[in-house]
């Protein structure tokens, strides 16, 4: 049986994709791959996920980004500044016998170039999406729009992860209107570190493995 792969995306930027990815890497003993990193090359998402799992880079479970862009902007703009072009056939899923967590950049409709978005990459890879939602004014709209886009493109959806403070009225309407499972919840974390990720992953591991059928 082929190892399980999951694409972690968010309803917007800064909703908790990287924390979610770190938890999944820990709970599933998974590999990690970030196809595009824009900005923060001194402290990339790959570095954060490795650090929060107590691992040092380079490490065989952490795969090199396909594109490392200097400017913290949308990939299409950051690539233009760097004088490079992003093509869909640039992206090759790393070979591994372990589960693989793939982390996107921003939300679904973030442009990679003049024609393609993160959603196009998802559709090409055809990997089940773990959609991270965070409760804020407008998050219902952003979540429902993201789910609608994924369904329209026939991208498989593993389920939703709610990150941050609980809002029962928001979460219940999202669950009802999307008919998607809530895989797990990430509480508000004052500080993200190896101990907090390790403790939370230990607590959530049975639920995560059951929800993702691993």
Q: Which residues are catalytic?
A: 34
Nearest to residue 194, comparing CAs of 68, 63, 51? 51
Residue 172: Cβ within 10 Å count: 10
Distance CA 113, CA 74 (A): 9
Q: Is the peptide bond before 58 cis (omega within 30 degrees of 0)?
A: yes
Q: Which residue has the tokens 């190896």?
A: 194
Are 161 and 132 in contact by the 8 Å Cβ rule? The answer is yes
């Amino acid at each position: 049986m082929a190892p399980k792969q999951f694409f972690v995306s968010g309803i917007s930027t800064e909703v908790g994709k990287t924390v979610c990815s770190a938890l999944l890497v820990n709970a599933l003993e998974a590999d990690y791959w970030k196809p595009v990193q824009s900005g923060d090359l001194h402290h990339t998402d790959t570095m954060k996920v490795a650090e929060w799992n107590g691992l040092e880079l380079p490490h065989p479970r952490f795969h090199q980004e396909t594109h490392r862009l200097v400017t913290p902007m949308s990939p299409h703009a950051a690539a233009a500044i760097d004088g490079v072009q992003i093509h869909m056939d640039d992206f090759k899923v790393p070979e591994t016998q372990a589960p693989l967590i793939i982390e996107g950049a921003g939300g679904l409709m973030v442009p990679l170039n003049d024609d393609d978005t993160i959603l196009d990459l998802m559709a090409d890879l055809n990997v089940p999406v773990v959609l991270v939602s965070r409760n804020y004014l407008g998050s219902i709209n952003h979540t429902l729009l993201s789910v609608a886009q994924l369904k329209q493109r026939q991208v498989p959806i593993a389920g939703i992860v709610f990150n941050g403070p609980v809002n029962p009225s928001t979460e219940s309407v999202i669950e009802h209107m999307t008919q998607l499972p809530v895989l797990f919840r990430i509480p508000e974390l004052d500080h993200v570190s190896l101990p907090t990720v390790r403790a939370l992953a230990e607590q959530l591991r049975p639920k995560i493995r059951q929800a993702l059928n691993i």
